[in-house]
Structure 1
Amino acid sequence: MGDYIRSIFNSMYQVQKIYRMSKLLHLLCLLVSFGVILGQGHLRIIDGKPAWPKLLPYQVLLEATFKDDNKTYYCGGTIISKRWILTAAHCLVNSSLVLDNVIVSAGIVNATDENEFGRVEMLVKMQDTVVHSEYNNKTIENDIALIHLPEDLKLNDYIQPAKLPKRKHPNAYDFRKAIVSGWGQTNHGPTDILKYLVVRIISNKHCEKLWSLALNGLRKLILNSFLCIDTRRGLPCFGDSGGPLVLDDGSDTIVGIVSHGYDAECNIRVPDIFTRVSSFVDWIEMHTGKLT
């Protein structure tokens, strides 16, 4: 089965490379087809400062394609070991389509520069992805997924894993500063350069209060497995989904995964909601083993 299967796999990869030439034209297609009920929020990307090589070596770009769909859907992800990528469930799930494969690009800042130094690309088949079995696309609960790479990443200054957090009480990171990053929508349209923003984590109680005020009294339930940020100075938007929220203390500890926000246009500064990674350490280790 070896040579024949490899030839098919390589052909598929070349087709994906052709699709990538028009990637920026499709950025805004991300998640338009993933419905979320009123009052729960819109699946999300980011606005911020341009990153430079080696600054965020744990960040990856994901390009997902679904069967019977000619669009490419873009998300972010986080390297957590040589073989595993952490992302959001909604990046790999479409209620009406079946995931075909995902191109993972690591070690990059410029999403469209095929010759960027440090760039590594791998094509991952659907069967090598793990979506949380209890992901709910209405409440956006358990919005977490894993991607198993076909071979080890070679770690260097451009490619490094983020650290998983310890299992902590839900309020453990309140008021801490963190870095959110991605290739998502900015105030000036889609970007091909990785952007980052320093934000502050807020309490779930305060987050729920601000959401309820924006919803004119309707309650937005902020689960313990959610984590919120203050978005008054900036926020993620379309295309940043699945990307990392990492503590701004030099530890490269990933505490959140970009999940969803209040409005589809990312204009209203209601706190954005992330999947709280510390709530899923057991789930991650169940599928990956204990990462080192």
Structure 2
Amino acid sequence: MAFKDCGLDRQCVPYEQCQEGLVLDGILYPDRSRTQLDEACHYMEKCCNTNDTIDTPEVPINLSLWSCGGRQDLWYYLRPLGYKQQEAKFGEFPWLVAIFGAGGYLCSGALITPLAVITTASCVQNETLPNLRLVAGEWDAAVELEPLPHQERRAVEVLLHANYTTIPIVNNIALLLVEKDSPFQLGPNIQLICLPPPQMVYDFSQCYVSGWQRRDFGGSDVLPKRWTLYALASDQCRAKLRLSYLGRRHALNDSLLCAGGDKGDFICQDVDTSGVPLMCPLPGGEDRFVLAGLLARPTKCDGPQLLAIFTNVQFYRQWIDLKLRERDLDIRPYMV
């Protein structure tokens, strides 16, 4: 591969290919600090002395056997120049999947087994199978300079919930399956998220949403956004929905989940964020996550704080388990 020159006997290379950093137990931890020389390079590259340029290193540890919901050690994280808290770092949510159709990016989803991605029915209902592409391990969709490559698969089957309707929008959930002979290969930037056990309670949990914004595609950098939200207790969710969305006589069932918090550009200013996963820490494991919900409809942001409505994944566990078992697919990977 030919690299761009950035000075006398220096070239722009991905951080992992520059032998400048800290070596511990035989593992190179690249120096990600930036100097004036690095300004001539992309933010995911280092202006490296030609003699210090090395081949792409192997993944330092085998993470393919990690339990669901876990994440890679923080040293792998990348941050763009001018990093803001609303931008996800590389590998921060390794189960995040970008879903593309005939017209380009559609929405986000989450990897729950190496063969199955979960998202909203509203995202994929109008797409035909030959056009549905699933990309896991993606970060900056504008370039291919990440420490580890993304993986792309074609969906071979789309399972929409049989009772999904748009008015009112209920049962907004779908499973996308890939060919059994071509599963996603797990690694530091591609992992599975757990599905919530029946007894789990989210009341006022600090959770995260993350995904890409359709309007960003075509820009110089296309990074997944992130935002902190708080899962609301069911009685509080019911009261807020009656006042804002559904009317005072609406009887909320457990198929929906509410989350609230400060208003942010990611959730409030892009109408094409369907399927964005709501990820909550597993009790007793602050750095292990379960998929609490999938953004089911545009977020209401006209009050002092936002109110986001999610498909409650916990409510659909039986449906998910059944659909995968019918196809002889292993459901153990997403079980806590």
User: Which TM-score applies when normalising by structure 2?
Assistant: 0.62
Q: Give the whole-Å Cα distance in 2 for the aligned partners of 1:110 and 1:243.
A: 17
Which residue of 31, 50, 55 corresponds with 2:92? 55
Q: Give the whole-Å Cα distance in 1 for the aligned partners of 2:323 and 2:199.
A: 20
Alignment partner, residue 315 of structure 2: 279
Alignment partner, residue 77 of structure 2: none
Which residue of 268, 276, 284 corresponds with 1:243? 276
Alignment partner, residue 162 of structure 2: 133
Q: Give the whole-Å Cα distance in 1 for the aligned partners of 2:308 and 2:252.
A: 11
Deviation of 1:166 (Å): 0.5
Deviation of 1:198 (Å): 1.6
The CA deviation string for residues 188-242 of structure 1, in whole angstroms up to 9 with x for no partner, is x987111111211112332232233336965555331100001334362433311
Q: Structure 2 vs 1, CA of residues 285 and 117 (structure 1 numbering), >3 Å: closer, same or farther? A: same
Q: Does the residue aligned with 1:80 lie in a helix, a strand or coil?
A: strand
The CA deviation string for residues 82-132 of structure 1, in whole angstroms up to 9 with x for no partner, is 1111111111113xx75652111111211222454433343424x511111
Q: Give the whole-Å Cα distance in 1 for the aligned partners of 2:115 and 2:202.
A: 27
Q: Does the residue aligned with 1:252 lie in a helix, a strand or coil?
A: strand
Aligned-residue sequence identity (percent) comes to: 25
Letter in 1 for 2:316: F
Contact 1:185–1:239 under 8 Å retained in 2: yes
- 1:208-287 matches, within 5 Å, as 208-214=238-244, 219=249, 221-234=251-264, 236=267, 237-248=270-281, 249-263=286-300, 268=303, 269-287=305-323
Instruction: Report the aligned-residue RMSD.
Output: 2.9
Q: Give the whole-Å Cα distance in 1 for the aligned partners of 2:167 and 2:297.
A: 11
Letter in 1 for 2:150: V
Q: Does the residue aligned with 1:50 lie in a helix, a strand or coil?
A: coil
Alignment partner, residue 164 of structure 1: 195
Q: Structure 2 vs 1, CA of residues 76 and 217 (structure 1 numbering), >3 Å: closer, same or farther? A: closer
Q: Give the whole-Å Cα distance in 1 for the aligned partners of 2:247 and 2:120.
A: 29
Q: Structure 2 vs 1, CA of residues 160 and 243 (structure 1 numbering), >3 Å: closer, same or farther? A: same
Contact 1:214–1:270 under 8 Å retained in 2: no
Alignment partner, residue 6 of structure 1: none
User: Does structure 1 residue 106 correspond to structure 2 residue 136?
Assistant: yes
Q: Structure 2 vs 1, CA of residues 215 and 154 (structure 1 numbering), >3 Å: closer, same or farther? A: closer
The CA deviation string for residues 31-86 of structure 1, in whole angstroms up to 9 with x for no partner, is xxxxxxxxxxxxxxxx9611111111010111123xxxxx3352000011111111
User: Does structure 1 residue 175 correspond to structure 2 residue 175?
Assistant: no
Q: Structure 2 vs 1, CA of residues 74 and 221 (structure 1 numbering), >3 Å: closer, same or farther? A: farther
Which residue of 134, 152, 155 corresponds with 2:186? 155
Deviation of 1:270 (Å): 4.4
Q: Give the whole-Å Cα distance in 1 for the aligned partners of 2:111 and 2:89.
A: 18
Q: Structure 2 vs 1, CA of residues 108 and 267 (structure 1 numbering), >3 Å: closer, same or farther? A: farther
Q: Does the residue aligned with 1:223 lie in a helix, a strand or coil?
A: coil
Q: Does the residue aligned with 2:262 lie in a helix, a strand or coil?
A: coil
Q: Give the whole-Å Cα distance in 2 for the aligned partners of 1:208 and 1:178.
A: 19
Q: Give the whole-Å Cα distance in 2 for the aligned partners of 1:48 and 1:145.
A: 30
Alignment partner, residue 109 of structure 2: 77
Pick the structure with more strand per residue. 2
Q: Structure 2 vs 1, CA of residues 217 and 157 (structure 1 numbering), >3 Å: closer, same or farther? A: closer
Q: Give the whole-Å Cα distance in 1 for the aligned partners of 2:109 and 2:203.
A: 23
Mind listing any 5+ residue stretches in structure 2 that lack a counterpart?
A: 1-83, 326-330
Which residue of 215, 220, 223 corresponds with 1:193? 223
User: Does structure 1 residue 90 correspond to structure 2 residue 119?
Assistant: no
User: Which TM-score applies when normalising by structure 1?
Assistant: 0.70
Letter in 2 for 1:89: A
- 1:116-131 matches, within 5 Å, as 116-125=146-155, 127-131=156-160
Worse-superposed segment, 210-219 or 236-245: 210-219
Contact 1:122–1:149 under 8 Å retained in 2: no
Letter in 1 for 2:233: S
Deviation of 1:136 (Å): 1.0
